[in-house]
């Protein structure tokens, strides 16, 4: 799958963040996904039919909001001569936070990657999973599910789980056969388990070492077994340091991978917030202790970028699209990394109050 460039990422993330906090009072927010290559007129006709169906909604306010949202979506789609090359995502609904006022708005975006999903949905929130999957497809999480008999390694990209490697061991069952002392049997079993852990680690190193898009590692299995593996000297520190979550699960096959992801959802969502908080905490601490090591504000940040002294450019999602894109392109040109931060955390709000643009420098400047 092709990579998104910084401009595409910024535009898509900004669009998603603009919509993700909007809440309908009832199931009245309309989401429409039109896949690449499909006939736009068919989607328009479908939405016109849904306007008629919406007349059956019992609550008068909800009925009117849905019908008005569909009408606005249809009018918007008629502005297009045909379905854009990658398809189109369109959202419409009442965005007013004041219950006594109505503000029906429509939003649309041609995704940076081809859309294969066809969807019409009415809900209390806009359906953004498909777009989020495009945004996150190049960020991955390593998955390891294991016990002493079997292990499966996989990867999570966006919402897609892919199984990579399956291993089985020669570790004997818990009960010895005749002719062996209990102590000897236990020792052989332990040695076989350690050899299996080594094979799991070798497979993990082969699949995940050097993967710059790897955001973290999730490990699942019976309690004692996975802890033995993690606490032992099997995984290299590069991977061990990236372990975000360990969970108890029963299955160690592809079902186990799905169970692991399901039980690690909080850790996965927290990871991006934690990274964001760490960057902003570092920025704010330097601002207090070593002010020469950071800059903030549009003018000072651009000056530092052009002088080649920016290590990390930080842009708040509150910054206007065009300016954010220009700054990201400039950062790429001068070899600086870029982090886009939300306004959902206390640190994010504090950074926004500083103008929403800043940078951590490679070294202190006067």
Query: What's the average model confidence in pLDDT over 32-39?
Result: 95
Q: What is the pLDDT at residue 280?
A: 94
Q: What is the pLDDT at residue 172?
A: 61
User: Average per-residue pLDDT in the chain?
Assistant: 89
Reported as a single tens digit per residue, the pLDDT across 82-130 is: 999 999 999 999 999 888 899 999 999 999 988 988 999 999 999 998 9
**Tokens linked to 318:** 């509150």
Q: What domains sit in the chain, N to C, each tagged with a CATH number?
A: 6-130 (3.30.960.10), 140-263 (3.30.420.60), 273-361 (3.30.1330.30)
Give residues with Cβ within 8 angstroms of 209, minimum separation 6: 236, 238, 239
Helix/strand/coil (H/E/C) assignment for every residue in 145-170: EECCCEEEEEEEECCEEEEEEEEECC
Residue 163 has pLDDT above 70, yes or no: yes
CB atoms near residue 17 (< 10 Å)? 16
Sign of CA dihedral 252, 254, 259, 261: positive
Reported as a single tens digit per residue, the pLDDT across 247-306 is: 999 999 999 999 999 999 888 877 767 778 889 999 999 999 999 999 999 999 999 999
Q: What is the pLDDT at residue 138?
A: 63
Identify the band that residue 179 occupies on the pLDDT scale cut at 50, 70 and 90.
Answer: low
Identify the band that residue 196 occupies on the pLDDT scale cut at 50, 70 and 90.
Answer: very high
Give residues with Cβ within 8 angstroms of 337, minimum separation 6: 311, 312, 313, 331
Q: What is the pLDDT at residue 267?
A: 87
Q: Which of 359, 366, 363 is nearest to 336 (CA)?
A: 359
Q: What is the pLDDT at residue 97?
A: 87
Q: How far apart are CA 206 and CA 335, in angstroms?
A: 29
SS3 for 112? coil
CB atoms near residue 272 (< 10 Å)? 15
Q: What is the pLDDT at residue 100?
A: 85
Q: What is the pLDDT at residue 177?
A: 54
Identify the band that residue 178 occupies on the pLDDT scale cut at 50, 70 and 90.
Answer: low
Identify the band that residue 171 occupies on the pLDDT scale cut at 50, 70 and 90.
Answer: low
Q: What is the pLDDT at residue 32?
A: 97
Query: What's the average model confidence in pLDDT over 211-234?
Result: 90
Q: What b/e sequence results for 23-39 when a residue is b if at least 16 CB atoms lie within 10 Å of its CB, and e otherwise? A: ebebbbbbbbbbbbebe
Q: What is the pLDDT at residue 339?
A: 87
Residue 135 has pLDDT above 80, yes or no: no
Kind and range of the H or E element at 182? helix 182-208
Q: Of 169-173, 222-226, 269-273, which has the strongest mean pLDDT?
A: 222-226
Q: How far apart are CA 264 and CA 308, in angstroms?
A: 39
Percent residues over pLDDT 70 in the chain: 93
Residue with tokens 């292990």: 151
Q: What is the pLDDT at residue 318?
A: 86
Q: What is the pLDDT at residue 94?
A: 95
pTM for the predicted model, two decimal places? 0.56
Q: What is the pLDDT at residue 349?
A: 92
């Amino acid at each position: 799958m092709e990579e998104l460039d910084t401009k595409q990422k910024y535009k898509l993330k900004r669009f998603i963040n603009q919509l993700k906090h909007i809440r309908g009072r009832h199931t009245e927010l309309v989401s429409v996904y039109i896949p690449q290559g499909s006939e736009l007129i068919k989607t328009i006709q479908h939405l016109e039919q849904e306007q008629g169906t919406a007349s059956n909604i019992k609550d008068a306010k909800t009925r009117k909001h849905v019908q008005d949202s569909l009408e606005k979506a249809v009018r918007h789609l008629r502005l297009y001569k045909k379905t854009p090359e990658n398809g189109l995502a369109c959202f419409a609904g009442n965005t007013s936070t004041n219950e006594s006022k109505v503000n029906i708005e429509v939003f649309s975006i041609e995704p940076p990657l081809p859309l294969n999903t066809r969807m019409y949905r009415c809900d209390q929130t806009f359906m953004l999973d498909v777009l989020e999957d495009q945004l996150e497809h190049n960020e991955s999480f390593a998955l390891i599910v294991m016990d002493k008999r079997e292990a499966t390694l996989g990867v999570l990209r966006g919402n897609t789980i892919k199984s990579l490697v399956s291993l089985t061991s020669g570790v004997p069952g818990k009960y010895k056969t005749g002719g062996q002392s209990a102590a000897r049997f236990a020792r052989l079993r332990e040695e076989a388990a350690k050899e299996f852990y080594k094979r799991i680690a070798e497979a993990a190193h082969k699949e995940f070492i050097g993967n710059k898009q790897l955001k973290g590692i999730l490990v699942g299995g019976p309690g004692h077994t996975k802890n033995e593996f993690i606490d032992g000297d099997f995984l290299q520190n590069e991977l061990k340091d990236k372990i975000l979550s360990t969970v108890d699960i029963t299955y160690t096959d592809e079902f186990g991978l799905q169970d692991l992801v399901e039980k690690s959802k909080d850790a996965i969502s927290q990871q991006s917030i934690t990274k964001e908080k760490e960057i902003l905490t570092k920025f704010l601490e330097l601002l207090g202790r070593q002010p020469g090591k950071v800059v903030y504000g549009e003018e000072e940040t651009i000056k530092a970028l052009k002088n080649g002294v920016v290590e990390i450019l930080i842009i708040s999602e509150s910054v206007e699209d065009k300016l954010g894109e220009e700054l990201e392109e400039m950062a790429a040109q001068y070899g600086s990394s870029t982090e886009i931060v939300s306004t959902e955390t206390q640190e994010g709000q504090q950074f926004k109050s500083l103008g929403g643009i800043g940078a951590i420098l490679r070294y202190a400047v006067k």
